[in-house]
């Protein structure tokens, strides 16, 4: 045996399970590690064939190839599934070295084995989970996209292909996207910060369609580059249904406002005129009931103004004069209604929003202000408008009330409808308790400050 072979043999005996056979395959030697691994005593193996460990997993052709290789004087390496003495299955990584005499005749075999059962079991589990996940992704009704760090499309499932009109995985989707224009920039920001995000995406397919994107950054590893996983759902039909429902609700608001103004408001105005004449007559006669009549007339006029204000709120005609001024007027009425101290800042910026979203923004903010008036027990409310970025305006409403005492079991219906309105215009709503006490409501509205 050469010196290097002697060293290899010594190391193998010390750290691995070792088996030696003669030229016919009869076991001549096993070390302690081999006995511990198989569960057999040494005397139970000496003189036997390694077939006592055969689990029946491998084919005859497998072993024929193995023996042909070593009988030809070549080494063989591979994975073998065996069976221990207690019938338990285990896997080993085997290297078989032919032992040759001086005339290059085969005199025996040296098998060095390392158990890999845990590794094989882990790999099998991972492969099974991967197969199940791949099946779920391919059959999922939602679209799934995987992007590389440079936003190259790596994979898309059939649902994504249908939603985006894709036929090939390497076809660019960015030319199909109508909104938001800065989607690539937003995705890069998610990747850089490793923060998940959600986007409402409008695409041009055979028709204009709306999608909801859930974006999850994938961190890089020592083997793989970072990337982005997108799960998306087509919300076109859902949004169309919500639009119709909100349009019906808007019509009802308009009818209610007109009814309040044309019937109750006009009737109250007529009564005010009659009481005005009555008080004038009583004043000329110096009646004792004059003070009470004047007080009643004042209450009547106050009710008339309240009804007219409610009618204006329902019809919302005043937003045509500017969204900022309409919100300011809303705050003035809130101040009269509940004696609220109001603060406002930069409301005029709201007039820079697209006119078609003025009404939904007004309705959303009205819902938030009404929540403050009727539920917060606050005596101060503040509305500020600021530029969150070149693509969003941030409208913040804060109060000093009791805040949200606990998470409601059922979401406030008004806030839920406000959420629907926000979704339809690509806005985002966030609300919660302030650390110093009180409640905040934040609305981020898409805009282009350069237009």
Mean pLDDT within 233-245: 86
Note the pLDDT of residue 404. Answer: 74
Do residues 442 and 395 lie in contact, with contact meaning Cβ atoms separated by under 8 Å?
yes
In this structure, of 84-93, 199-208, 272-281, the range with the lowest mean pLDDT score is: 272-281
Note the pLDDT of residue 407. Answer: 55
In this structure, of 136-140, 164-168, 176-180, 234-238, the range with the lowest mean pLDDT score is: 164-168
Note the pLDDT of residue 46. Answer: 95
pLDDT bin (cut points 50, 70, 90) of residue 413 is: confident
Note the pLDDT of residue 233. Answer: 92
Which neighbouring-strand residues pair with 215?
Answer: 197, 230
pLDDT bin (cut points 50, 70, 90) of residue 288 is: low
Q: Say yes or no to pLDDT of 405 above 70.
A: no
For residue 32, say if its preceding peptide bond is cis, omega within 30 degrees of 0: no
CA distance 348 to 326: 10
Q: Tell which CATH architecture fits domain 140-234.
A: 2-Layer Sandwich (3.30)
Note the pLDDT of residue 282. Answer: 67
180 or 213: which carries more pLDDT confidence?
213
Q: Say yes or no to pLDDT of 167 above 70.
A: no
Mean pLDDT within 171-192: 82
In this prediction, what percent of the chain has a pLDDT beyond 90? Answer: 31
Mean pLDDT within 340-355: 86
The mean pLDDT value of the chain amounts to 84
The SS3 of residue 19 is strand
Mean pLDDT within 293-313: 76
The string of DSSP letters for 42-109 reads HHHHTTS-GGGGB-S-S-HHHHHHHHHHHHTT--EEEEEEEE-TTS-EEEEEEEEEEEE-TTS-EEEE
* Domain spans, the chain: 3-121, 140-234, 241-315, 322-451
Does 140-234 match 3-121 at the fold level? yes
CA distance 79 to 414: 65
CA distance 210 to 143: 13
Q: Which tens digit of pLDDT belongs to each residue from 81-101?
A: 999 999 999 999 999 999 988
Note the pLDDT of residue 345. Answer: 86
HSE-CB of 310 using CA atoms within 13 angstroms = 16
pTM of the model: 0.59
The string of DSSP letters for 216-249 reads EEE---SSS--EEEEEEEE-HHHHHHHHHHHHHH
348 or 338: which carries more pLDDT confidence?
348
Note the pLDDT of residue 246. Answer: 81
Do residues 205 and 176 lie in contact, with contact meaning Cβ atoms separated by under 8 Å?
yes
Determine the topology of domain 3-121 in CATH: Beta-Lactamase (3.30.450)
Q: Which tens digit of pLDDT belongs to each residue from 35-53?
A: 999 999 999 999 999 999 9
Mean pLDDT within 400-428: 77
In this prediction, what percent of the chain has a pLDDT beyond 70? Answer: 90
Strands in 350-412 per DSSP E: 380-389, 392-399
Q: Which tens digit of pLDDT belongs to each residue from 109-132?
A: 999 999 999 999 999 999 999 899
Note the pLDDT of residue 409. Answer: 47
Note the pLDDT of residue 74. Answer: 92
The top-level CATH class assigned to 322-451 is alpha beta
Rg of the chain, C-alpha, whole Å = 40
């Amino acid at each position: 045996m050469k010196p290097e072979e002697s060293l290899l043999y010594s190391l193998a005996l010390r750290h691995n399970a070792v088996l030696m056979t003669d030229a016919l395959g009869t076991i001549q030697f096993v070390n302690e590690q081999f006995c511990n691994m198989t569960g057999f005593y040494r005397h139970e193996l000496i003189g036997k064939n390694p077939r006592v460990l055969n689990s029946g997993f491998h084919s005859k052709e497998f072993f024929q190839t193995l023996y042909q290789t070593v009988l030809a004087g070549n080494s063989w390496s591979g994975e073998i599934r065996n069976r221990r003495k207690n019938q338990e299955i285990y896997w080993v990584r085997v290297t078989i070295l032919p032992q040759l005499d001086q005339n290059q005749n085969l005199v025996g075999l040296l098998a060095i084995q390392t158990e890999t059962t845990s590794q094989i079991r882990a790999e099998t589990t991972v492969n099974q989970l991967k197969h199940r996940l791949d099946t779920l992704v391919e059959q999922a009704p939602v679209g799934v996209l995987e992007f590389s760090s440079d936003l190259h499309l790596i994979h898309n499932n059939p649902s994504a292909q249908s939603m985006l009109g894709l036929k090939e995985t390497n076809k660019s989707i960015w030319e199909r996207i109508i909104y938001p224009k800065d989607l690539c920039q937003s995705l890069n920001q998610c990747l850089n910060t490793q923060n998940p995000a959600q986007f409402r995406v409008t695409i041009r397919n055979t028709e204009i369609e709306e999608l909801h994107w859930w974006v999850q950054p994938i961190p890089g590893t020592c083997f793989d580059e970072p990337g982005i996983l997108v799960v998306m759902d087509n919300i076109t039909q859902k949004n169309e249904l919500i639009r119709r429902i909100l349009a019906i609700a808007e019509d009802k608001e308009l009818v209610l406002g007109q009814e309040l103004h044309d019937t109750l408001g006009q009737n109250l105005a007529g009564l005010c005129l009659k009481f005005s004449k009555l008080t004038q007559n009583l004043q000329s006669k110096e009646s004792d009931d004059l003070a009470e009549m004047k007080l009643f007339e004042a209450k009547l006029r106050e009710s008339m103004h309240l009804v007219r204000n409610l009618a204006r709120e329902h019809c919302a005609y005043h937003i045509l004069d500017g969204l900022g001024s309409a919100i300011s007027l809303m705050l003035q009425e809130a101040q009269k209604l509940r004696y609220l101290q109001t603060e406002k800042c930069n409301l005029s910026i709201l007039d820079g929003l697209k006119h078609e979203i003025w009404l939904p923004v007004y309705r959303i903010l009205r819902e938030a202000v009404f929540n403050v008036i009727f539920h917060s027990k606050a005596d101060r409310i503040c509305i500020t408008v600021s530029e969150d970025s070149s693509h969003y305006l941030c409208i913040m409403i804060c109060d000093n009330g009791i805040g949200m005492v606990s998470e409601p079991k059922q979401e406030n219906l008004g806030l839920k409808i406000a959420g629907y309105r926000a979704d339809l215009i690509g806005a985002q709503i966030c609300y919660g308790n302030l650390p110093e006490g009180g409640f905040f409501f934040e609305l981020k509205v898409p805009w282009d400050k350069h237009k």
